[in-house]
Amino acid sequence: MNLTPTEARARADEVRETSLTILRGLIPVATIDAWNEAFQPLLNAAIAREGDDPNRGANRHYVTLPFQDLWADAGIIDNDAIMAVVEELVGADGVMCQLASDTPLIGSDYQDLHRDTQLLFPESGAETPPYQLAVNFALVDVTDENGPMEYAPGTHMTAKAEGMRRIESGEVPLVRAYMNRGDVMIRDVRHIHRGTPNRTAVPRPMVVIGYSRRWLYRPEVNIRVPAEVLVGLPERARRWLRFNPVFETKAEAARQEESYRAFAY
């Protein structure tokens, strides 16, 4: 899928108005299935490591993905359609700052309604144009049974208390984001949302690629980039990764994960 400038602006305007847009069928299903197969050992290691203290709630795991091999596929991280919308929202000089996943398992529960970031100036109570985005795609089809995200459209541009009031009064509904393998969601992470329970025996991995304005720095997230991977990427991808730490070898880059536990605001 290629987007014309007019189409990219329309998708960006949809994010500004509702908080998200979904590009249907963007990534080949074969690519998604390869990611899912490669993801299972990483998930199993996280489950063994975290035990009874998973980092996103009961039986729900946040797993950082190593920026190498298929995880550094330029067809995804430098996808023309995705980047056209992202650049409309956070500027062509923005940064890619996160590559990870969120996976509810059977036994997971509803998360508390939350945002993924704070206001830039909490004392003001005022919202601003977009400054932080999540690009999400699931590694399995997302259905009612396996834990779709619920979100409240438009609440990214209201104070959280006012957004919660609108949800509780029924003025703004909670909408479930259904996605098939290959669909890509681009969302403003300030909207009020929550994960829902996975009631199946199959994990529901959701990849997140984080993008932000060039001046926004959150020390709890970054991408550890191997130098040999970086040199093989297109120029645009290298530019968007420019503020991340670079390591001499893949092994060194994969050695440490993010310490991203406080995620709900």
Provide the CATH number for the domain around residue 150.
2.60.120.620
Q: Judge whether 265 lies within some domain.
A: no
Assign 237 to helix, strand or coil.
Answer: helix
**Residue 153 in tokens:** 């459209």
DSSP states of 14-83: HHHHHSEEEETT-S-HHHHHHHHHHHHHHHHHHHHHHTT--BTBTTEEEEEPPSSGGGG-HHHHT-HHHH
Angle (CA) 71-183-112 rounded to 5° is 85
Residue 25 lies in a domain: yes
Asked if residue 64 belongs to a domain, the reply is yes
pLDDT of residue 59: 93
Q: What tens digit of pLDDT does each residue of 146-170 get?
A: 999 999 999 999 999 999 999 999 9
Q: How many CB atoms lie within 10 A of CB 22?
A: 18
- Which range among 57-66, 178-187, 205-214 shows the weakest confidence by mean pLDDT? 57-66
220 pLDDT band (50/70/90 cuts)? confident
- 258 inside domain: no
Q: Is 248 a domain residue?
A: yes
**pTM for this model (two decimals):** 0.95
169 within a domain of the structure (yes/no): yes
Number of independent structural domains in the chain: 1
Is residue 259 in a domain?
no
Average pLDDT over all residues of the chain: 94
Range of the domain at 243: 5-253
Q: Is the pLDDT of residue 259 over 90?
A: no
| 263 found inside a domain | no
